[in-house]
Amino acid sequence: MGWVNRAELAAVLRTARSRVTPSDVGLPAGPRRQVPGLRREEVAQVAGLGVDYVIRLEQGRGPRPSPQVLSALARALRLSDDDRDTLFRLAGSAPPQAAHVPMLVPRSTQRLLERISQLPALVLSAKSDVLAWNALAAALFGDFSALPPARRNLIRQRFLGAGIGRVTMVPDPDAAADCVGCLRTAQARYPKDPDLARLIADLQAGSESFDRIWRAGRSGRQRSTSTTVIHPEVGRLTLDCDILLVPEVDQSLLVYSAGPGAPEVSALELLRVTGLECFAD
């Protein structure tokens, strides 16, 4: 539990109350309203709290609100997720955790992915599922659509060898701890996600290396680094991998590139032209 910023908590509650109209919460407006938004009595009614308790909170007094009280106030005041999280933090409590890892790629991110046509690019979930990819990524790594969704996971591929087609991903030993740490970070954010729990269980059962690193208990995050693949048509390629974050949905856009004059530039251009035809027998 953290420190309670009572003055800011009171200010946020008062301001939020002024933005909500009675009709927003299903209450009649009534005559002669002297203040914008809801009355304190109405906030208390909608939240299921005592009026005196709401008054003391808005005056920066009273006991520390519990997470249940904060959730009730956030619902009554129609707070956005960001405003709700701020409310919790001001009250010294951890914000509520999402139940599931977000798996739906925003339209704007999908549009950006499609327009990055000169470079391979992928969209990953918080647990490293490949959610979307452009044509050049498919030509480089293989056709992700040929795999069941549960197997389109880069960490699963790394530790369990569930590759795509004839492409071989060359693992970087220095990045192993970061890969495992990403899953531990995701588990802390989404402790109730059944697919995440299943992925971790599969990795622990199927990979001694993963299990050893997992039991070390370290968290981590994705880092911009280099990736090496062995492609059946263009050979061994080492590419820089830059990571762009999409914080609203806890996703990442990975973009692969090579420096000017590197042989990988010509190889990517060849793949861009030939596409998935490289995989034809």
Residues 79, 130 within the same domain: no
* End residue of a domain, out of 58, 90, 122: 90
- Give the pLDDT of the chain (281 residues) as one tens digit per residue: 568 899 999 999 999 999 988 888 887 776 676 777 888 998 999 989 999 999 999 999 878 999 999 999 999 999 988 899 899 999 999 888 778 999 999 999 999 998 998 999 999 999 999 999 999 998 998 888 888 888 899 999 889 876 666 677 777 777 888 889 999 999 998 998 999 999 999 999 999 999 999 998 888 777 778 888 888 888 899 999 999 999 989 999 999 999 999 999 999 999 988 875 544 44
Residues 20, 139 within the same domain: no
Distance CA 45, CA 218 (A): 45
- CATH classification at residue 112: 3.30.450.180
* End residue of a domain, out of 60, 90, 120: 90
95 within domain boundaries? no
1 within domain boundaries? no
* End residue of a domain, out of 64, 90, 116: 90
Other Cβ atoms less than 10 A from the Cβ of 66: the count is 11
229 within domain boundaries? yes
Q: How far apart are the first and last CA of the chain?
A: 61
Residues 56, 132 within the same domain: no
Residues 16, 66 within the same domain: yes
Distance CA 86, CA 129 (A): 29
For the entire predicted model, the pTM comes to 0.74
CB distance 148 to 281 below 8 Å:
no
102 within domain boundaries? no
Q: How many domains does the chain have?
A: 2
Residue 279: per-residue pLDDT: 47
Backbone angles phi, psi at 74, to 5 degrees: -60, -40
Return the residue matching tokens 């071989």. Answer: 168
Q: Identify the domain containing residue 22 by its residue range.
A: 6-90
Return the residue matching tokens 């030993």. Answer: 173
Torsion of CA 227, 230, 234, 235, to 10 degrees: 110
98 within domain boundaries? no
Residue 280: per-residue pLDDT: 45
